[in-house]
């Protein structure tokens, strides 16, 4: 169980679309607006976990066309989120994001987030510690994963919101948002690279 807990910590804390977009939403729109987005991510990650546990995700992702459609949707949505974050602090009226991504945006991201599927598959297919009682192991894994997931995402949101509260100059805020958007673009490039190797 300790090995599983450490794996959860390291896999969730590493930057992926969820934590990067959480920090970006916090930096661009503040903590309260970001909470709605994180709630959507939380619901979404648990739906993905249930899909992995029941085997539904494996069945769906085994069809190459569906896998490519989800990968394309994921990449396009990550590009959209990166643009929202990059231009959240800009002053050019036609590209300024006036509203923060909310619950539905977080839910949508997790539904097409390749890292969410990979991480949950790793969690529930690996690290067996109670093979004689699969129900106990699955429930405790869900509890442990969520007990770590929530504070990590709230910490990323707080970090982003702290930048928002500093009332930085427009130029500094734009640079931070561009940096976060660039990090998300790097995740997109990694996802494309991984997808092309499959």
In angstroms, how far is the first alpha carbon of the chain from the final one?
A: 32
45-82 pLDDT per residue, tens:
999 999 988 888 777 767 788 777 777 777 777 777 77
Residue 77's domain comprises: 2-197
127-183 pLDDT per residue, tens:
888 889 989 999 999 999 999 999 999 999 998 888 777 777 777 777 877 877 777
- The answer to whether residue 93 scores a pLDDT higher than 60 is no
Count CB-CB contacts under 10 A for residue 165: 13
**Interatomic CA distance for residues 161 and 11, integer angstroms:** 23
Query: For the residues 9-36, what does the mean pLDDT come to?
Result: 83
pLDDT value, residue 195: 57
- The answer to whether residue 193 scores a pLDDT higher than 70 is no
Q: Which two tokens stand for residue 69?
A: 């459609």
Q: Is the Cβ–Cβ distance between 75 and 146 less than 8 Å?
A: no
Domain count, the chain: 1
Query: For the residues 105-114, what does the mean pLDDT come to?
Result: 84
Mark residue 118 as left, alpha or beta (left: phi above 0; alpha: psi -120 to 50; beta: remaining): alpha
Q: Is the Cβ–Cβ distance between 184 and 17 less than 8 Å?
A: yes
């Amino acid at each position: 169980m300790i090995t599983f807990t450490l794996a959860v910590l390291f896999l969730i804390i590493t930057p992926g679309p969820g934590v990067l977009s959480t920090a970006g939403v916090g930096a661009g729109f503040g903590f309260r607006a970001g909470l709605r987005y994180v709630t959507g991510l939380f619901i979404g990650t648990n739906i993905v976990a249930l899909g992995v546990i029941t085997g539904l995700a494996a069945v769906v992702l085994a069809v190459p066309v569906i896998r490519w459609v989800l990968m394309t949707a994921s990449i396009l949505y990550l590009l959209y989120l990166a643009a929202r974050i990059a231009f959240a602090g800009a002053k050019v009226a036609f590209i300024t994001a006036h509203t923060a991504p909310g619950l539905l945006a977080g839910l949508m991201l997790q539904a097409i987030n390749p890292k969410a599927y990979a991480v949950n598959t790793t969690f529930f297919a690996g690290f067996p510690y109670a093979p004689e009682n699969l129900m106990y192991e699955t429930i405790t894994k869900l509890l442990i994963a969520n007990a770590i997931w929530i504070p990590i995402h709230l910490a990323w949101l707080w970090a982003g919101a702290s930048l928002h509260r500093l009332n930085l100059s427009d130029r500094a805020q734009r640079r931070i948002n561009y940096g976060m958007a660039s990090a998300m673009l790097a995740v997109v490039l990694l996802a494309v690279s991984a997808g092309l190797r499959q």
